Amino acid sequence: MSGIEETVESVQVNEGKEFDVEVEEHIEDEFAVDPTRYIFYRDRKEWADLEPVPQDDGPNPVVKIAYSEKFSDVYDYFRALLKNDEKTERAFALTADAIDLNAANYTVWHYRRVLLQALSKDLKEEMKYITNIIEEQPKNYQVWHHRRMVVEWLNDPSEELRFIADILSQDAKNYHAWQHRQWVIQEYKLWDNELEFVENLLEEDVRNNSAWNQRHFVISHTTGFSDPAVVEREIQYCLNQIRKAPHNESAWNYLKGMLQDRGLSSQPGLLERVLELKETHCSPYLLAFLFDCYEDALENITQKEKVEEEEQKETLRKALEICRLLAQEKDTIRKEYWEFLGRSLRNKYGNGSLTEQPVFQLCVITASVHR
């Protein structure tokens, strides 16, 4: 999904399907009229009883859309159906035409759902229908919501994981697809094979942030991240992926994201393992991770009773050096940010905030003032 705009701008892929109205020149033929020829609703005998309702844009419309004749015809009749609250087969059939012309019309989708229930339509058929529509227009909100409703009504998620996997095979980061997948898994407790699914995706593209997110989703809802064995396994996994692709921000974010609640310095040996990587697999993300480790250490040092002042100063010095390095050389696009962090850190842990101020220095200053 490319963002909020998908609410309002789904890509129109149906242009080629616009039928031209052909003047039927061979009406005298013995052969039947081509059944696939499109006929406007206004020309259909079965619809003659219904008065179409033109759109009420008012006398001075703005943001006018140049509707095709087909579009206006379908929607004039849709409005008529809505006005009469008609709940018939023909109404149901028309919703498919209306959707085909604008799959983002949520009013039509809502009406179709009302009809599905009122007419006790075959929901398995509806699943086939919505499957096809989503394959054509996978970045549309309404189609996925509609599928969810049908799955709920059927209480049958059996096709979902496979279907979503197919959509993801075409676009591994489709936000709607992942949203639907997480809903299905959570609602119907389909956790069992998901970690394997995620690992396969990461094998295909270790930079797929959606897959990393899904990894976090699965683990946090199953084993959780409190189990030290799980954490160690995940750290191992991250570091392996980092060795393969050092400039993969997702892996570093995952490492930090997993540990930040407990504190990065709570994981013994981690800092050392990362420092090892610094020589051969350095990146702005590695450096930022080191910074975060040092900051976390400072956070925890000041809470302990026995404090090696030198140790604290050294940690602070290393943290500030990383800020400088990032701001001035390695991650200059974020210069304002790294400089802010440096100032913040210095303000919080710097000279002025050390707990012990040697007394004799104050006397010297006082003495010199009175000279």
Partner 1 sequence: LNRNCLDASRPWLCFWILHSLELLQEPIPAAVASDVCQFLARCQSPTGGFAGGPGQHAHLAPTYAAVNALCIIGTDEAYNVIDREKLLDFLWSVKQPDGSFVMHVGGEVDVRSAYCAASVASLTNILTPKLFENTTNWILSCQNWEGGLSGVPGLEAHGGYTFCGTAALVILGKEHMLDLKALLRWVVSRQMRFEGGFQGRCNKLVDGCYSFWQAGLLPLLHRALYKEGESELSQQRWMFEQQALQEYILLCCQNPTGGLLDKPGKSRDFYHTCYCLSGLSIAQHFGNMDNHYEVILGKEENRLAPTHPVYNICPEKVAQALQHFLRMPVPEIHFRSNKRGRSVK
Catalytic positions: 139
Kindly state the tokens that stand for 171. Answer: 């676009």
Which is nearer to partner 1, 47 or 70 (by Cβ)?
70
Instruction: Tell which positions 316-355 bind partner 1, by CB under 8 A.
Output: 331-337, 340, 343-344, 347
Does 191 engage in binding with partner 1 (CB under 8 A)? no
Restricting to residues 146-185, name those near partner 1 by CB under 8 A.
148, 152, 173, 175, 178-179, 182
Among 241, 248, 283, 315, binds partner 1 (CB under 8 A): 248
222 binds partner 1 (CB under 8 A): no
Among 75-83, 158-166, 189-197, 301-309, the segment contacting partner 1 (CB under 8 A): 75-83
Crossing angle of helices 123-136 and 141-154, rounded to 10°: 160
Q: Quick count: other Cβ atoms within 10 Å of Cβ 289?
A: 24
SS3 (DSSP) at 36: coil
Q: Which of 90, 207, 313, 318 binds partner 1 (CB under 8 A)?
A: 207
70-106 in b/e burial notation, b at 16+ Cβ within 10 A?
A: bbbbbbbbbbbbeeeebeeeebbebbebbbebbbbbe
Q: Which stretch binds partner 1 (CB under 8 A): 23-31, 248-256, 263-271, 356-364?
A: 248-256
Cβ 153 to partner 1 shortest distance, Å = 12
- In whole angstroms, how close is the CB of 368 to partner 1 at the nearest point? 30
Burial (CB count <10 Å: 0-12, 13-18, 19+), residue 316: buried
Measured distance CA(7)–CA(252) in Å, rounded: 32
For partner 1, give the closer residue by CB, 23 or 63.
Answer: 63
State in angstroms the smallest separation of the CB of 316 from partner 1: 15
Binding range to partner 1, per CB under 8 A, among 36-44, 191-199, 246-254, 298-306: 246-254
**Smaller CB separation from partner 1, 47 or 212:** 212
- The correct pick among 187, 271, 298, 354 for binding partner 1 (CB under 8 A) is 187
Which tokens sit at 292? 């975060």
Non-local CB neighbours of 87 within 8 Å, separated by 6+ positions: 114, 115, 118, 119
Least distance (Å) from partner 1 to the CB of residue 346?
A: 8
Q: Pick the closer one to partner 1 by CB: 307 or 350.
A: 350
Residue 110 one-letter amino acid: H
Minimum separation from the CB atom of position 45 to partner 1 (A): 26
Distance CA 343, CA 350 (A): 9
Tell me if 145 contacts partner 1 by CB under 8 A. Answer: yes
Q: Which residues, numbered 27-56, are part of the site for partner 1 (CB under 8 A)?
A: 53, 55-56
Note whether 213 and 172 are within 8 A (CB).
no
d(CA 162, CA 125): 18
Cα distance between residue 326 and residue 337, in whole Å = 10
Q: What tokens were used for 249?
A: 């921000």
Q: Within positions 259 to 318, which residues make up the interface with partner 1, using CB under 8 A?
A: 260
**3-state class (DSSP) for residue 40:** coil
Q: 71 vs 281, which CB is nearer to partner 1?
A: 71
Q: Contacts with partner 1: how many residues (CB under 8 A)?
A: 77
CA-to-CA dists, residue 311 to 97, 301, 302, 318, 329, angstroms: 72, 9, 11, 11, 26
Measured between its terminal Cα atoms, the distance across the chain in Å is 73
Provide the 10 A C-beta neighbour count for residue 258. 21
Footprint (CB under 8 A) of partner 1, residues 88-127: 101-107, 110, 113
Nearer to partner 1, 72 or 307 (CB): 72
Q: Which of 38, 39, 42, 67 binds partner 1 (CB under 8 A)?
A: 67
Least separation in angstroms between CB 78 and partner 1? 9
Report yes or no: 201 and 167 within 8 Å, Cβ to Cβ: no
The one among 9, 136, 199, 227 contacting partner 1 by CB under 8 A:
9
Q: How far is the CB of 5 from partner 1 (least distance, A)?
A: 5
